[in-house]
Chain A
Amino acid sequence: MVRTLKIRAYETDGQVIVKSVINHPMETGRRKVKKTGKKIPPHFIKEVIVSRNRRIVMEAFWGKSISRNPFLSFQIPGRKGDTITISWLDNRGNTDSASAKVR
């Protein structure tokens, strides 16, 4: 499978700043194919789970109004060398996850 997740995590003063981008079309179901006028069915990420050292720190539930190739950034307490794992699940049951070490 193609890599869908990019994660950057770095620490300053005991706070880990995580920035991530998920590659995903995030179709709202309202967009139409110009030629045929047919609607493109919705295809969007419903759930994003973030864990630090295998413990969940955040759950995000998303609707259709999140932009294409969603960007997600947040801050959590932690230190250098921690492992941040992000996994997502979309409305078609596709899922992916990736990890990054805090620098």
Chain B
Amino acid sequence: MKRRTLLKASLQLGVTGLLFPGIAISAYPTGAFLAKDIPDALREAFGTTDIGESSKIEIDAPHIASDANMVPVRIKSGFENTESISLVVTGNESPFTAYFKLYEEQNFVSTRIRMADTSDLLVIVKADGVLHTNKRPVRVGRNDCGES
């Protein structure tokens, strides 16, 4: 048992420490991912819930998602010096979904997410130390045609 935990620890070190020595790695924001409501998640992740809205963040997602388990999302930040991009799905049990920390001049990420229900996608961008947010509603199609 002990040997296994040790092995695991060394493997984790392998990913974070040994492969890229000399670079500080930020910690996994456990609190934000465990939070059950949005203010809690924001407080855990950013230390504040007071975030200004901005239309400079472009969120590209389907208006109606046919597969709730695979909703493609593309996020583009219009800010220079974008430091991080976070994605929050307001209708999910644990709303905080993803946190991308960017170390170079980057402003675009894209992934696929699960949505429990029709709700808003909330994107929070940190640029030059200031937080900005924008949201986008997504309807989730119930895939129950022909089942009943």
B-contacting residues of A (Cβ < 8 Å)?
28, 30, 46-47, 49, 51-52, 54-68, 70-77, 85, 87-89, 93-95, 97
Contacts and interface: CB of A to CB of B under 8 A. Distances in A.
A66 B20 contact: no
Given A66-B98, A68-B69, A75-B107, A61 B114 contact: no
A95 B9 CA distance: 11
A74 B33 contact: no
A66 B113 contact: yes
A88 B11 CA distance: 11
A71 B111 contact: yes
A66 B97 contact: yes
Interface in B66-113: 69-72, 74, 89, 92-94, 96-113
A57 B92 CA distance: 29
Contacts, number: 130
Contacts of A46: 28
B48 interface: no
A49 B15 contact: yes
A66 B100 contact: no
B141 interface: no
A24 to B, nearest CB: 12
Given A57-B102, A70-B111, A63 B16 contact: no
Interface residues of B, number: 43
* A interface, over-half SS: strand
Contacts of A89: 11-12, 15-16
A87 B15 contact: yes
B145 interface: no
A57 B20 CA distance: 11
Nearest to B20: A56
A34 B112 CA distance: 25
A73 B15 contact: no
Given A58-B101, A60-B98, A63-B97, A97 B108 contact: no
Contacts of B110: 71-74
Given A66-B97, A95-B11, A74 B26 contact: no
B106 A61 contact: no
Contact of A97 (B19, B29, B33, B70): B19
Given A67-B113, A95-B12, A58 B97 contact: no
B1 interface: no
